[in-house]
C-alpha cells in the first residue's frame, strides 16, 4: 500500500518554496521537507555539522539523505508550476471584460508579476486570487501525487 501524503502540506510547500529552498517528500513516511540549497551543497563536506547551527542539524541530515539517494522525491519547482499560466487562467476567469483586460494587459511585458499583483490590489481581488492560486496548486499537487502513485489525504 503506498504511503499517504498530506495534500495540504504539499500545497503549502508549493506556495512557499523558491529556488534556494526546494521541497521534497519522503516516499517512506509521506513527510514534506523544505531544504536550504546551501545545506544540499554542504551535505558531502566532512565536518559540515560543525559549521551548521544547531537549529539546522535535522535539516542537514535530510539533505544528506536526499543527496545519498534516500527515499525522497522533489516537489514540482517554480519552473514546473508556471505561475504565469495560473495568472492568465485567473484573468480569463473574470466575468467583467474590463477587469479581464486589465489583468491580461498586466501580465504581458516587463514586470508582469509585479504588474499583476498591482492590478489584483487595485481591484481588491487579493482573496479571490489567492484562492484561485491555491486551487491551481492543489490540482498540480494531485497530478504530481498520481504520477508517483502516491495516495493523499
Q: Are residues 61 and 91 in the same domain?
A: no
Q: Are residues 61 and 98 in the same domain?
A: no
Q: Are residues 91 and 144 in the same domain?
A: yes
Pick 56 or 85 by higher pLDDT: 85
Asked whether 126 and 51 are in contact (CB, 8 A), the reply is no
Q: Are residues 141 and 109 in the same domain?
A: yes
Q: Are residues 101 and 61 in the same domain?
A: no
Q: Are residues 57 and 87 in the same domain?
A: no
Beta-carbon neighbour count of residue 54 at 10 Å? 7
Q: Are residues 45 and 85 in the same domain?
A: no
State the residue for C-alpha cell 484561485. 132
- Taking residues 30-59, report their average pLDDT: 83
Is residue 10 in some structural domain? no
Is pTM beyond 0.85? Reply is yes
Give the dihedral of Cα atoms 64, 65, 69, 70; nearest 10 deg: 180
- Domain range for 134 is 80-148
- Taking residues 41-58, report their average pLDDT: 78
Q: Are residues 108 and 54 in the same domain?
A: no
Per residue in 95-143, pLDDT (tens digit) is: 999 999 999 999 999 999 999 999 999 999 999 999 999 999 999 999 9
Q: Are residues 97 and 43 in the same domain?
A: no
Amino acid at each position: 500500500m503506498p504511503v499517504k501524503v498530506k495534500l495540504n502540506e504539499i500545497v503549502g510547500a508549493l506556495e512557499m518554496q523558491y529556488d534556494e529552498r526546494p521541497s521534497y517528500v519522503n516516499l517512506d513516511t509521506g513527510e514534506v521537507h523544505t531544504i536550504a540549497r546551501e545545506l544540499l551543497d554542504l551535505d558531502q563536506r566532512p565536518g559540515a555539522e560543525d559549521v551548521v547551527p544547531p537549529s539546522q542539524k535535522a535539516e542537514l541530515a535530510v539533505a544528506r539523505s536526499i543527496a545519498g539517494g534516500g527515499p525522497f522525491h522533489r516537489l514540482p519547482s517554480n519552473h514546473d508550476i508556471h505561475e504565469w499560466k495560473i495568472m492568465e487562467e485567473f484573468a480569463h476567469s473574470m466575468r467583467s471584460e474590463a477587469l479581464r483586460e486589465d489583468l491580461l494587459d498586466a501580465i504581458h511585458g516587463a514586470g508582469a508579476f509585479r504588474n499583476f499583483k498591482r492590478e489584483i490590489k487595485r481591484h481588491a481581488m487579493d482573496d479571490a486570487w489567492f484562492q484561485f492560486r491555491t486551487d491551481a496548486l492543489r490540482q498540480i499537487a494531485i497530478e504530481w501525487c498520481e504520477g508517483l502513485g502516491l495516495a493523499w489525504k
